[in-house]
């Protein structure tokens, strides 16, 4: 892993981390995770094995990225946002089904937002702080509330 910064108090078990990525204290990256170039993985982030993170992604403090989650390029995930992969979580559930979640290019997830499993957040969408997202969000939509509802659209910047 050339030109990757891993804080001495972080645990990065993956050898598939892109150039220019920074992994800060108390982050834990499992061996199967794939992380792109120029990412910023902040303090206390946990990334499971069956995870793909694109280039130029920022994941703020206190976020867990579970198996089955794909984060495309240029995504921002705010502090303590919650991503999920199991609609009916139980301890030692033999009927457990992994539900895949995709965060499309350039979307932003606000602090403390909750994203239920099996959802797609569209390209450039904005999820408000504290929103509870219970269904997929279209590209460039702005959603807030519990359950999250569309309150507007974000006009894409040139190049988005």
Percent of the chain past pLDDT 90, that is, above it, reads 88
Backbone angles phi, psi at 102, to 5 degrees: -125, 130
Query: From CA 71, how far away is CA 145, in angstroms rounded?
Result: 22
Percent of the chain past pLDDT 70, that is, above it, reads 98
Joined together, the tokens standing for residue 22 give: 């920074």
pLDDT in tens, 15-66: 999 999 999 999 999 999 999 999 999 999 999 999 999 999 999 999 999 9
pTM score > 0.85 for this model?
Answer: yes
pLDDT in tens, 132-154: 999 999 999 999 999 999 999 98
Joined together, the tokens standing for residue 145 give: 């509330």
pLDDT at position 160 is: 64
pLDDT at position 93 is: 86
Please, are residues 128 and 109 in contact by the beta-carbon 8 Å criterion?
Answer: no
Q: Residue 58 pairs with which residues in a beta bridge?
A: 40, 76
């Amino acid at each position: 892993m050339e030109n990757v910064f891993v804080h001495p108090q972080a645990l990065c078990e993956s050898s598939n981390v892109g150039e220019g990525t920074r992994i800060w204290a108390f982050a834990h990256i499992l061996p199967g995770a794939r992380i792109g170039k120029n990412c910023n993985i902040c303090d206390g982030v946990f990334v499971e094995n069956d995870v793909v993170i694109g280039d130029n992604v920022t994941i703020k403090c206190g976020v867990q990225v579970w198996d089955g989650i794909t984060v495309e390029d240029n995504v921002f995930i705010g502090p303590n946002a919650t991503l999920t992969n199991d609609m009916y979580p139980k301890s030692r559930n033999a009927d457990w089904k992994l539900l895949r979640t995709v965060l499309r290019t350039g979307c932003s997830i606000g602090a403390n937002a909750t994203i239920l499993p099996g959802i797609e957040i569209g390209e450039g969408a904005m999820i408000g702080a504290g929103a509870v997202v219970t269904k997929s969000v279209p590209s460039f939509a702005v959603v807030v509330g519990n359950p999250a509802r569309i309150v507007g659209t974000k006009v894409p910047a040139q190049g988005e």
